[in-house]
Amino acid sequence: MTRRPLFLLSLPRSGSTLVQRILAGHEEIATTPEPWLLLPQIYAMRERGLFAEYGQVPSSRAIREFAERLPGGMEDYRAELRSFITGLYERAADDKGTYFLDKTPRYHHIADDLFELFPEGRFVFLWRNPLAIVASISETWGHGRWNVEKYRADLFDGTDNLVSAYRAHEGRSIAVRFEDLVARPLQTWPSVFAHLDLRFEPELLRSFGSVRLDARMGDPTGSRAYT
């Protein structure tokens, strides 16, 4: 059984861990802590945004040239990459569900690419008040001190990337506000599950604490606060 990719796209510190745990409480949705799998795969084709001791620019050009020489060109390359990633999702799902949820906030750098690479994928965009995001960054990563300048790529480029991707692919996506999911859960969560052709069960709002996502990469603050 092939699990369908499900991507939760948001800026870091947008409440995505809580959303991930509620979604993963459903028997049809498998997940793991942030995989980050697709960032190096997609950046392998980019000349900018990545440093490699073997030389990112010549490497990206060589890979592109190799892909273009395949019988089906770039589509062959994407098909094999898709097969590789979905195969890993399949193994990680451990026989659970019809979806594998990949929640990696810095996928905002590759949001458009995800739509092209996974035509069968489902996408949930999560928005949050920018002031709340900044406050959470300072509290969690700055230990209460102002350190926002370190995260300009997330706060500025990330916002532009996500808005652009949502506008370009609105027909294949659903967008929700974190504040609405928390303040009006019974009115907002059903639409998220309907987008996935799944039935919403209110019990998910109470049982998500049992979904464990302990790992080096992820949100220890959210995991503790919502357990």
End-to-end, the C-alpha distance of the chain in Å comes to: 31
pLDDT tens string 135-181: 999 888 888 888 888 898 999 999 999 999 999 999 999 999 999 99
Q: What is the pLDDT of residue 223?
A: 47
Asked, for residue 74, whether it belongs to a domain, the answer is: no
Asked, for residue 119, whether it belongs to a domain, the answer is: yes
Q: Could you give the number of structural domains in the chain?
A: 1
Q: What percent of the chain has pLDDT over 90?
A: 81
d(CA 96, CA 80): 24
Asked, for residue 57, whether it belongs to a domain, the answer is: no
The CATH number linked to 191 is 3.40.50.300
Report residue 143: phi and psi, to 5°: 55, 40
In which domain, by residue range, is 128 found? Answer: 4-34+99-216
d(CA 82, CA 74): 12
Crossing angle for the helix pair 74-93 and 56-68, nearest 10 degrees? 100
Q: Is the pLDDT of residue 190 over 70?
A: yes
Q: What is the pLDDT of residue 5?
A: 98
Asked, for residue 208, whether it belongs to a domain, the answer is: yes
Report residue 5: phi and psi, to 5°: -65, 135
Asked, for residue 89, whether it belongs to a domain, the answer is: no
Q: What is the pLDDT of residue 192?
A: 98
Q: Is the pLDDT of residue 113 over 80?
A: yes
Asked, for residue 50, whether it belongs to a domain, the answer is: no
